[in-house]
Structure 1
């Protein structure tokens, strides 16, 4: 039973991956939610596909300070916190004036109370040349999440209920056989 509860908790709390498509020249908000009632000591937005480890940062914040020197040169001066106070754990960033080279995977990692950073969100950003798409859309990646998440939760809930029902009535079934 504890394994089922663990799977349910992990399923509901694990990071979510989404896809965003924007046109070149637009600004895009990369959404990420950290813990609401804990002190965020470190925030890292990274592009794992960038070559040098020291230049994987899209945005780096630690101990109440933004470190632009740690950013990949192509992101300097183009990234800012959506909410500089990070109220309610909102650690989303705005990437300004995107271009096709900004297409890729973005990871949001948060550390609270100086503990090891945890992956909070993954965004696959696609930047199209101007005129091929309009604005900041999230329908492609979220459609599967909107359908799959409730279905998965429903199936998991049915398994848990079935297991509990079986355990409670196991003696009755054994007596009949």
Structure 2
């Protein structure tokens, strides 16, 4: 075999046994401070069980937003700012759903989140997880609360105030009419 054909064969074998990584889906989510935000991720359909779920953010170094392995969460690997604030949307991970719920978000939660999973069977499970390509990359932007609260709250309070004022005015008019009616009925009729 000449050098050209053997080089081509090497490239073909390389792509068959070591396929190029597929690029992860990318998504941008905008939220308001105080909301609970779902970050959606679904593992590829596979007969193997999900043995590791990893939600990470690049600026957290070696700590995770959430790490699940050996059929349990690993809180010792979790960044302190996410303790008691994150959970899987479906702890059973039915149909490969490994979506994350991020509770009571703040502007500090803004960043780029990545979801990774490792599929395998029980006999190949290990404490260490593999560095796999992300399934999805989500850019989360959390807006600070507006001055005086959200627009919906301001509108709601304004409507309530107008209705309260209208009710008070209506009540005062009713009381005034009842008072006048009572005064008219208490006056003796003057007969000549």
**TM-score past 0.5 threshold:** yes
Q: Which runs of 5+ in 1 are unaligned?
A: 135-177
- Distance, in Å, in 1 between the alignment partners of 2:137 and 2:112 is 7
Q: From 24, 43, 49, give the equivalent of 1:39.
A: 49
The 3-state SS of whatever aligns with 1:49 is helix
What do the CA deviations read for 1:73-118 (whole angstroms, capped 9, x no partner)? Answer: 0000000010010001010010000000000000101101148333
Task: Say if 2:141 is the partner of 1:126.
Answer: yes
Residue in 1 aligned with 2:24? Answer: 15
Residues 89-108 of structure 1 aligned to structure 2 (within 5 Å):
89-108=96-115
Do residues 74 (structure 1) and 76 (structure 2) align?
no
Cα distance in 1 for partners of 2:20, 2:32 equals 35
Distance 2:23 2:138 in 1: 14
Normalising by structure 2, what TM-score? 0.58
Separation of aligned partners in 2, 1:61 and 1:36: 19
Task: Compare relative contact order (CA 8 Å, sep 6+) and give the higher one, 1 or 2.
Answer: 1
CA distance in 1, matches of 2:65, 2:102: 9
Per-residue deviation, 1:10: 7.1
Equivalences, count: 125
Query: Which residue in the other structure is 1:112 paired with?
Result: 119
* Contact 2:25–2:136, Cα closer than 8 Å, also in 1: yes
Distance across 1 between alignment mates of 2:70 and 2:136: 21
- Taking only aligned residues, the RMSD between alpha carbons, in angstroms, comes to 2.6
Q: State the distance in 1 between where 2:23 and 2:58 align.
A: 19
**Post-superposition offset of 1:49:** 1.2
SS at match of 1:118: coil
Contact 1:36 1:87 in 2 (8 A): no
- Partners of 1:14 and 1:32 in 2: CA distance: 14
Structure exhibiting the larger radius of gyration computed from Cα positions: 2
TM-score (norm 1): 0.63
